[in-house]
Amino acid sequence: MDKKMHVSTRKLSLVMSAFVFVVVKVSGQNCQEKVDIVFLLDSSGSVGEDNFNKMKQFLVRSISGFTIGPHSTQIGLVTFSPETTQFKLNTFTSSTAVQNGIKNTPYDNGGTDTHQALRYVGSNSFSTSAGDRVNSPDLLVVITDGQSSDSLQTKKEADNLKQRGIIIMAIGIGSGVKMTELLNIASNSSLVIEVNNFNALSSTLANKIHAMYCQAGEITTSTTTATTTTTTIPPTTTPSTTIPPTTTPSTTIPTTTIPTTTIPTTTTPLTTFTSPSSTTSPSQTTSTTPSTSTKHVSTTSFTTANLQDLPKVNIPFQKHTTSYGQAITIVCKVVSPRYPILEVFWEEFDNGITTRIDDKTSGIEGVTIPNPSLTIKKPMVNSTYTCKARNAMGNGSSAEFHLIVKGGLPTVTVQIPRNSTIIYGSPVVLNCTVYSSLKITAIYWKAFYDYDRENAKIIHEGEFNTAGITKANPSLTLTSPKFHDTGEYLCYARNEAGQTLSRRIPIKVDGGIPEVHIGSTRYTAKYGHKVTLNCTVVKATPPHFEVYWILETYKGKTIIRQGEFGTSGSTINNPSLTINSTTTTDPGKYTCVAVNAVGNGSSQVTVLQVTGGVPHVTVNSTNYISIFGNPVTLNCSVQSDPPHTNVYWKHSIDGKNTSNLNQKATGTEGITLQNPSLTIGKTNFAHSGYYTCFASNEIGEGISESIYLNVTGDYPNVITPTLKYTVDYSNDVTFYCKINATPQHYEVYWLQHIHSNFTRKISSKTWTSSGSTLKIKEIRSSANYSCVAVNAVGQGQSSIITLTVLGGVPKVKRQKLKYKTGKGYSVTINCIVKSEHLKILDVSWLVYNPRTKKTNEIHNGEVGIDGVSPENPSHL
**Who's near 795: CB < 8 A, 6+ residues apart?**
715, 716, 788, 789
Of 573-582, 595-604, 866-875, the one with minimum mean pLDDT is 866-875
Q: What is the pLDDT of residue 717?
A: 95
Q: What is the pLDDT of residue 202?
A: 61
> For every residue of 204-241, which 3-state class applies, written as one string?
HHHHHHHHHHHHHHHHCCCCCCEEEECCCCCCCCCCCE
Q: What is the pLDDT of residue 9?
A: 29
Q: What is the pLDDT of residue 47?
A: 85
Tell me the average pLDDT across 840-845.
85
Q: What span, in angstroms and rounded, lies between the C-alpha atoms of 214 and 207?
A: 11
Tell me the average pLDDT across 441-454.
89
Of 16-25, 146-155, 300-309, 495-504, the one with minimum mean pLDDT is 16-25
Q: Sort strands 138-144 and 36-42 into parallel, antiparallel or unpaired.
A: parallel
Q: What span, in angstroms and rounded, lies between the C-alpha atoms of 512 and 489?
A: 23
Give the tens place of pLDDT for each residue, 705-714. 999 999 999 9
Q: Sort strands 623-627 and 707-712 into parallel, antiparallel or unpaired.
A: parallel
Tell me the average pLDDT across 563-572.
93
Give the CA radius of gyration of the chain.
54
Give the tens place of pLDDT for each residue, 719-750. 999 999 999 888 999 999 999 999 999 999 99
pLDDT at 226 over 90: no
Which amino acid, 509?
V
Helix (H) or strand (E) holding 85: strand 84-87
Q: What span, in angstroms and rounded, lies between the C-alpha atoms of 64 and 672?
A: 103
Q: Taking the CB of residue 234, how many other CB atoms lie within 10 A of it?
A: 12
Q: What is the pLDDT of residue 384?
A: 93
Q: What is the pLDDT of residue 145?
A: 84
Q: What is the pLDDT of residue 750?
A: 94
- The sign of the CA dihedral 401, 407, 409, 412 is positive
Specify the higher pLDDT residue, 21 or 125.
125
Of the candidates 263, 256, 303, 304, the one whose C-alpha atom is nearest the C-alpha of residue 282 is 256
Q: Taking the CB of residue 548, how many other CB atoms lie within 10 A of it?
A: 19
Of the candidates 736, 735, 740, the one whose C-alpha atom is nearest the C-alpha of residue 791 is 740
26 SS3 class: strand
Of 128-137, 145-154, 209-218, 436-445, the one with minimum mean pLDDT is 209-218
Q: What is the pLDDT of residue 28?
A: 34
Give the tens place of pLDDT for each residue, 92-117. 998 889 999 999 999 888 888 899 99
Tell me the average pLDDT across 789-802.
94
What secondary structure letter does DSSP report for 817? S
pLDDT at 331 over 80: yes
Give the tens place of pLDDT for each residue, 367-404. 999 999 999 998 877 889 999 999 988 999 999 999 98
Give the tens place of pLDDT for each residue, 31-82. 446 889 999 999 888 888 888 888 898 888 888 778 898 888 999 999 998 8
Q: What is the pLDDT of residue 209?
A: 65
This prediction's pTM:
0.34
pLDDT at 592 over 60: yes
pLDDT at 277 over 70: no
Tell me the average pLDDT across 399-410.
86
Specify the higher pLDDT residue, 11 or 640.
640
Of the candidates 661, 663, 690, 660, the one whose C-alpha atom is nearest the C-alpha of residue 674 is 663
**Who's near 319: CB < 8 A, 6+ residues apart?**
401, 402, 403, 404
495, exposed or middle or buried, with CB in 10 Å at 0-12, 13-18, 19+?
buried
Q: What span, in angstroms and rounded, lies between the C-alpha atoms of 399 and 331?
A: 12
Q: What is the pLDDT of residue 260?
A: 29
Q: Sort strands 36-42 and 74-80 into parallel, antiparallel or unpaired.
A: parallel
Of the candidates 293, 39, 275, the one whose C-alpha atom is nearest the C-alpha of residue 144 is 39
Give the tens place of pLDDT for each residue, 462-483. 999 999 999 999 999 999 898 8
What's the pLDDT band for 207 if we cut at 50, 70, 90? Answer: low
Q: What span, in angstroms and rounded, lies between the C-alpha atoms of 869 and 876?
A: 11
**Average pLDDT of the chain to the nearest whole number:** 81
pLDDT at 349 over 50: yes
Q: What is the pLDDT of residue 208?
A: 59
Q: What is the pLDDT of residue 33?
A: 63
